[in-house]
Each structure stands twice: as C-alpha cells, then as structure tokens.
Amino acid sequence: MGESAGAKRPKAAKPGPGVDPVAILSAMTATPPVSSSSTHLAAARRTLALPTPPKIGVRIAGTGSQLPSRVVSNADIATIVDTNDEWIHQRTGIRERRVCDPTKGESNRWLCAESLRKALADAKMQATELDLIICGTITQDMRCPSTACLVAGDLKAGTAAAWDLGAACSSFVYALNTAHDLIRMGNYRAIGVIGCDTVSVLVDYTNRGVCILFGDGAGAAVLRATDDQTKGCIAQINHADGSSWPDLYMPGEDWMIPEGADRSTHKSGCLQMNGKAVFKFAVSTFQELIQQTLDKAGLSAGEVDLYVCHQSNMRILEAARDKFGIPEHKLLTNIERVGNTSAGSVPLLLDEIARQGKIKEGMKVMFVAFGAGLTWSSSLWQV
Ligand code: UT7
C-alpha cells in the first residue's frame, strides 16, 4: 500500500471508545520512510474508516403536560360495570383517571397544544423557533390534517414541519428517538415532541377488562441542539412485532375483526384487548428492554438515575423494580392518579418529575414504553 519494502509501521491503537481518531492518524502519518506521504495518509484513512464522532449534543430544553378537567374515579366506573375500587387498585394500581370533557373544549388537539405551549414556556422559547413538531398519538380528533399541523397552527409555529407518529403507547419514546437523531444529524435545531392520547374515545364503557385502565392526557418536550456533546441519547431501542396486533387493536368496522375472534364481544370503533396476553408480553418485554438498553450503553441498572416508564399497570412496573433492584425513588409512578394515558404516559410523568426538580444536569434517564402494535421502545439519555 505504497510503503517501501522493509519499512515498519508503528502499531496504531485499536479504535474504540475514548480513542481520538486525529491522534491515531497523526501516529500513522509519522511513520518512518515511506515512498509517498500523501498515498500513505489516504491509505491510513481508508484503513481506519472511523465513524464521524457526533458534533451536536441534544438537550431537553423544556417539558410540559396537560390533563383534562374531568376526574373519573373507580367508584364512578363501578356505577357502570360490575367492579369495585379494591379490585381495580389491587390489579392495576389505579384509583382515578382523567377524561376529556368536550363541552369545555377539551380534546386531543387541545391537550397537545397546551402541553407543547407549556414546554415552550419552560424552554423560554417561541413556537416560531421550532423547526419541527412531532405528535405521537393514535387518537387524533381529525384524520386529516395531522394533529401536529393543528398544533402548529394553534401555537403559530410558522412553517415548522409537522407530522404525527403512531406507535400507540410507545409513540412518545419512538418520537423522542426520531427527534433526537434528526437533531444529531444536523438537519434540525429545535423540535417539539408531543405524546398524547384520548383513549376514552375508543373505550367501550361496558367492557370492564378495558375501561378500568385508560385515561386521557398529554405531555411534551422541546429538544434543542447544544454544543455540549455529552448531552443526548446514549442508547435507544425501537421494535415492533406486527404479527401480534390482534392482542390490542381497534377495528374501525366489522370486516376488520380478525378471524377467530369472538364477534359477539367485539364492537367496531372500540378498543379490543387480550389483557392476559398483553400483560405477559409487557412484563417480559419491559425487563428485556431495560436490560438490552443497559447493555448497549455499557451501564448497570444502578448507574441509571431515573427510569421514566409507561404507566400501564402498577404490577408491571413493580416487576421491573424487583427484577433490577431499582429503588422506588428512581422509578416513580403516577398511575394511581391518571391511569394508563397511552402515548401521554411517559411525557406526562417526565414533566411531573421535572417540575418537582428531580432531574438534575448530567443525570442518566431511561425512558421505556410498550403498547399496541405490538411496539416497544427505550431511550437512555444523559440530560
Ligand atoms: O398500555 C397498553 C397495554 N395494556 C396493558 O398493559 C394491559 C395489560 N393487562 C392488564 O393490565 C390486566 O390484564 C388487566 C388489568 C386488564 C386485567 O387484570 P388480570 O389480573 O389479568 O385479570 P383477568 O383478566 O385475569 O381476570 C381475573 C378475574 C376474572 O374472573 P374469574 O374468571 O377469575 O372469575 C375476571 O372476570 O377478574 C375478573 N375481572 C374483574 N373483576 C372485577 C376482570 N376485570 C374485572 C374488573 N372488576 N374490572
């Protein structure tokens, strides 16, 4: 490769974490007699083929959230279906949830807009400073246009790009990873990420296996580029198993009901859930997801400062705490007060934790979610 016969090249350090590619190149170019230094340099560059280190850090500049005004307690649900507060609390950890009141103008769009408005205020930014709005939701008020576009209009975000992302309860974490990587690549400087669902519009309130779980709610985060390269996502995982969709879905019309399903218990327009199957999937997936993310980052469970997890069922969260020995103050919950808010769950909790001053600079925070699809996603940050 252009070296003179017999010339010995000094051994270059093996590229790896913490190794400066510029230093390696310098060491290689300092090689004694070569026939052509420029040929040698080119060869060295080819041999190294190092990935360009990221030059842009990403920070969570602000958070916000919004809940509807109407409180629906377990006692309220017990007036509709055969259940009681004790059963619901024991099996899910939920005491009450919030549901939109359309007579007060509460809707998916309103929740999304308010949560992003608050996140922008927290970041001390104007909506016009956003380059993009991603709204994670599967319960849009309108099929067209996207909720993100409606929010961009409501907040006067100028010509910021806007789209919705649908991964059910995993939507926010999927969107967070997407937004992070778009900023990291240098194409965007500021992105508003929203997670919101108004699952109450999909719930059959005569189905006690489903109606006890869900509530409405939204949260948002504003991500910004920063020169501090230590900030941003350290490891992320996004997956789906599309073959398991019949475990949790909403058939718009009767023909969408899959073969073999009990048609007498299915209602088009209403959420169908195989609670036991989803529970089993959730317990194992949650734990695998946390472990895989830790492995990817080369960290132990104890080195993560906070786990912000999808509030699906208290028993699923407790199983994860037990498995990894995570103390309660590192895996906080709000399911008792808000129920399962699907895509709203993770950002809603994030905002609550942030406003309590529990997120400090430099902390490692892991976001974890799973949901219909089936989908699952994690995002481990140094904030
Ligand atoms: O975020 C999206 C993903 N979704 C989830 O994470 C949901 C995962 N699944 C779950 O959280 C749980 O499966 C449920 C909370 C939905 C149900 O709890 P479970 O412990 O799996 O109950 P089960 O379906 O095994 O039912 C146990 C018993 C049954 O009675 P029998 O057959 O033992 O006599 C049910 O009929 O409890 C009965 N039951 C209820 N009783 C009072 C089911 N729902 C209720 C109810 N109130 N609401």
**Ligand 1 pocket mutation, candidates 276, 285, 318, 377, criterion most atoms within 8 A of CB:** 276
Residue 292 contacts residue 238 (beta carbons within 8 Å): no
pLDDT at 265: 80
pLDDT at 263: 81
Reported as a single tens digit per residue, the pLDDT across 52-80 is 655 799 999 999 999 999 999 999 999 99
Q: What percent of the chain has pLDDT over 70?
A: 86
Q: What percent of the chain has pLDDT over 90?
A: 81
pLDDT at 15: 42
Atom of ligand 1 nearest to the CA of 342: 1
pLDDT at 44: 56
Indicate which residue's Cα is closest to atom 47 of ligand 1. Answer: 83
The arithmetic mean of pLDDT across residues 265-276, rounded, is 90
The answer to whether the Cα torsion of 96, 102, 371, 231 is positive or negative is: negative
Instruction: Say which CATH topology domain 232-259+271-382 has.
Output: Peroxisomal Thiolase; Chain A, domain 1 (3.40.47)
When pLDDT is cut at 50, 70 and 90, the band that residue 267 belongs to is: confident
Structural element, H or E, at residue 25: helix 21-29
When pLDDT is cut at 50, 70 and 90, the band that residue 22 belongs to is: very low
Residue 296 has pLDDT above 50, yes or no: yes
Q: Kindly state the tokens that stand for 127.
A: 């909506």
Please name the residue that has the structure tokens 């109606």.
211
CA distances in angstroms from 101 to 69, 72, 106, 108, 253, listed in the order given: 7, 11, 5, 11, 26
Say whether pTM exceeds 0.95.
no
Residue 45 has pLDDT above 80, yes or no: no
Distance from the alpha carbon of residue 93 to the mean position of ligand 1, in angstroms: 12
CATH of 57-226, one of 3.90.1300.10, 3.40.640.10, 3.40.47.10, 3.40.50.970: 3.40.47.10
Mean pLDDT score of the chain = 89
Q: Kindly state the tokens that stand for 241.
A: 């198993």
310 part of the active site: yes
Query: How far apart (Å, rounded) are the C-alpha atoms in residues 382 and 328?
Result: 20
The residues of the chain that CATH labels 3.40.47.10 are 57-226, 232-259+271-382
pLDDT at 261: 84
The DSSP code sequence of 154-182 is: HTT-TT-EEEEE--GGGHHHHHHHHHHHH
Query: How far apart (Å, rounded) are the C-alpha atoms in residues 62 and 215?
Result: 24
Indicate which residue's Cα is closest to atom 29 of ligand 1. Answer: 209
When pLDDT is cut at 50, 70 and 90, the band that residue 49 belongs to is: low
Q: Write down the catalytic residue from 112, 169, 270, 309.
A: 169
180 part of the active site: no
Query: How far apart (Å, rounded) are the C-alpha atoms in residues 125 and 156?
Result: 13
Residue 237 has pLDDT above 50, yes or no: yes
The arithmetic mean of pLDDT across residues 215-233, rounded, is 97
When pLDDT is cut at 50, 70 and 90, the band that residue 272 belongs to is: very high
pLDDT at 50: 56
Reported as a single tens digit per residue, the pLDDT across 308-340 is 999 999 999 999 999 999 999 999 999 999 999
Distance from the alpha carbon of residue 313 to the mean position of ligand 1, in angstroms: 11
74 part of the active site: no
Residue 1 has pLDDT above 50, yes or no: no
Indicate which residue's Cα is closest to atom 6 of ligand 1. Answer: 312
Strand stretches in 137-257, DSSP E: 161-165, 190-198, 216-226, 232-240, 248-249
Helix (H, G, I), strand (E, B) or coil at 292: helix
Q: Is the CB of 275 under 6 A from ligand 1?
A: yes
Indicate which residue's Cα is closest to atom 36 of ligand 1. Answer: 209
When pLDDT is cut at 50, 70 and 90, the band that residue 18 belongs to is: very low
The DSSP code sequence of 312-333 is: S-HHHHHHHHHHHT--GGGS--
The arithmetic mean of pLDDT across residues 351-357, rounded, is 98
The arithmetic mean of pLDDT across residues 244-251, rounded, is 94
Of residues 88 and 50, more confidence is placed in 88
CA distances in angstroms from 337 to 220, 294, 312, 369, listed in the order given: 19, 30, 12, 19
The arithmetic mean of pLDDT across residues 121-141, rounded, is 98
Q: Is the CB of 77 under 6 A from ligand 1?
A: no
Q: Write down the catalytic residue from 135, 180, 270, 310.
A: 310
**Backbone angles phi and psi of 299, in degrees to 5:** -120, 160
Residue 33 has pLDDT above 70, yes or no: no
The arithmetic mean of pLDDT across residues 237-264, rounded, is 91
**Backbone angles phi and psi of 196, in degrees to 5:** -155, 140
Residue 201 contacts residue 142 (beta carbons within 8 Å): no
Specify the amino acid at residue 338.
V
Residue 229 contacts residue 57 (beta carbons within 8 Å): yes
Residue 194 contacts residue 185 (beta carbons within 8 Å): no
Residue 366 contacts residue 308 (beta carbons within 8 Å): yes
Residue 81 has pLDDT above 60, yes or no: yes
When pLDDT is cut at 50, 70 and 90, the band that residue 7 belongs to is: very low
Residue 25 has pLDDT above 80, yes or no: no
